[in-house]
Amino acid sequence: MRVKYAHKISLEKQEQGQSLLELAISLFVLLIMLAGIVDLGRALIIQFVLKDAAEEGVVYGTSFPSNCTQILSRISSNIDTQFVKNTVSPVIEIKDSGGTYHACPYSSAAGGQTMRITIPYTFQISMPFLGAFVGQSIQLNVTASGVVLRP
């Protein structure tokens, strides 16, 4: 009987070590997933903020298409600096009758033309270990477009 009892104790100690190893591995994987979820959430919030700013620029730009500085001012004032840390460089373009986009300032803008505002942004991954898998940055491009109402 004593031999069986001693053997049972040694198996329990081995199982405890195995459980600790399983916990360590699974905790590591869960923390990486949590870090990815946090970074993905930050990226989505930044994309929504940039999309809102681009749409605000289009709303103003479709009414006053030749006032490029005011369009840029509307875009930059609508960007929440709490989320967007880097500076952005919006690109304002109008599509002419030939289908070619021209950057602001453009020679002429007529009613019915399409205005497109694109905001490129480089999103920095905050979790260093996660950055080893997907890269240290992700390029976000947000585009909003509208039809010019008046020249």
Its pTM stands at: 0.78
Helix (H, G, I), strand (E, B), or coil: what is residue 129?
Answer: helix
Strands laid side by side in the 137-147 sheet: 101-103, 91-95, 114-124, 137-147
Whether the CA torsion 121, 88, 126, 44 is positive or negative: it is negative
Instruction: Chunk the chain into consecutive blocks of 10 residues (it has 151) and report each block's average pLDDT, rounded to whole numbers.
Output: 55 70 90 85 92 94 90 90 84 88 82 91 82 81 91 70
Contact 61, 146 (CB under 8 A): yes
Question: Residue 37 has which token pair?
Answer: 């979820």
- 26-61: pLDDT as tens digits: 998 888 888 888 888 988 999 999 999 999 999 999
For the chain, the maximum distance between any two Cα atoms, rounded to a whole number of angstroms, is 99
